[in-house]
Amino acid sequence: MTEVGRAALEAARTYETEIIRFLRDMIAIPAESLKEGERCERVRQEYERLGFDEVFFDRLGNVVARVGDGPLKILMDGHIDCVGVGDRAAWRHDPFEGKLEGGKIWGRGAVDELPAIACMAYGAKILLERGFPADVTLYLSATVMEEDCDGYCLLHLIEKEGIRPHVVILGEPTDLDVYRGHRGRMEATITTRGVSVHAAQCERGVNALYKMAGIISDIEQLNDRLAQDDFLGKGTIAASFIECTSPSLNAVPDSATLYIDRRLTVGETVETAMDQLRALPHIGDAEVALLQYDVTSWRGERAQQEKFYPTWILAPDHPLVQGVAQAVDAVLDAPPTISRWAFSTNGVASMGRLGIPTVGFAPGLEELAHSTEEWVAVDDLVRASAVYSVIPERLLAHRDALTDTGEGG
């Protein structure tokens, strides 16, 4: 552990109570995608209380804070929305209590990914008190709609609000390791058409569900043939949901729609994945379509995007990967594992679409995300806050390499 790391950890421990309070307050406010307003207001209040240079809502509803005004621009992002809770009876603790028990905080969002928002904020506060580097601009973003459409919030922030960082640090759970990529994904539909008749004379019609049966079998077999990558893992395809239209329960369905979750590994693209669907042996005259996202945010801003999210990887020797790893080592006195997520993140926009170097670092176990057992260790909140406070200083040592990308502004 370095002297700076030791000082950062000591400072973070003095803020443990405040970090816990802020996280529990956020958990207590339900905030599924498009309904984040009240939780966003709570984050805005905390950012302002911590004394950051600028705090505002952007047009989409993201909460943004700025610290400093230097040439190296760093964005630390955590999404503020969460998935629903499902059956409340399945939870050990009230999902919106933020229960503190046994050194852990429980609840929806206690992993995915409210801890990062709290820890990034207090990391910035600790760095301010230690002496904020004159050559750094640090942006904090608590972003919306990620669970609905990963990356759109960052795409809006960067392309429409003009905040273009040189590097991005994501707050999806990594268990205090450093992650540098993940598979891409897309959402598609396959629709079959039939002819509806009374079920008592079903042979007179064409059953759209029966036309789907062979297609579902084709998809199951396709999954076994998809590409494999040693780092990101295998491409996958899953039939995730089916619905049909029918005049009644006593009639032959005249249409059926199958929803597809497709995970894309290295070398796979949305075009090749769509071509694979169109080439399924039983596809016949079925219609294949890429889903579209078209909603209105909690602030009234329309958001539109195709539901395709690119694969991305950052090289292990990239100065961003190495700089964040050095910050972790400085605080935790052990080098982090360099790995990748199984799921998707806002990195599909920052790195996947825009090519801005991106990594992830945060407390929490990835496998607890979206489960009824979400919890995060209080000690990891303290340690993560200390690391976030050291990251800008470590990245500053790589300033020339990080700013020689044409990004930032």
Where in the sequence numbering do the catalytic residues fall? 81, 146
CA separation for the pair 205, 202 (Å, rounded): 6
Phi, psi for 304 (deg, rounded to 5): -135, 135
Which has the closest alpha carbon to 181: 392, 346, 399? 346
Q: Which residue type, as a one-letter code, is found at position 143? A: T
406: region left, alpha or beta (phi > 0 left; psi from -120 to 50 alpha): left
> Where do we find the tokens 């009240």?
38
- What contacts 50, CB < 8 A, 6 or more positions away? 121, 122, 124, 125
The residues that bridge with 140 in the sheet, in sequence order, are: 65, 76
**Token pair recorded at residue 219:** 């998809």
CA separation for the pair 15, 121 (Å, rounded): 11
Surface-to-core class of residue 230, CB atoms within 10 Å of its CB (0-12 exposed, 13-18 middle, 19+ buried): exposed
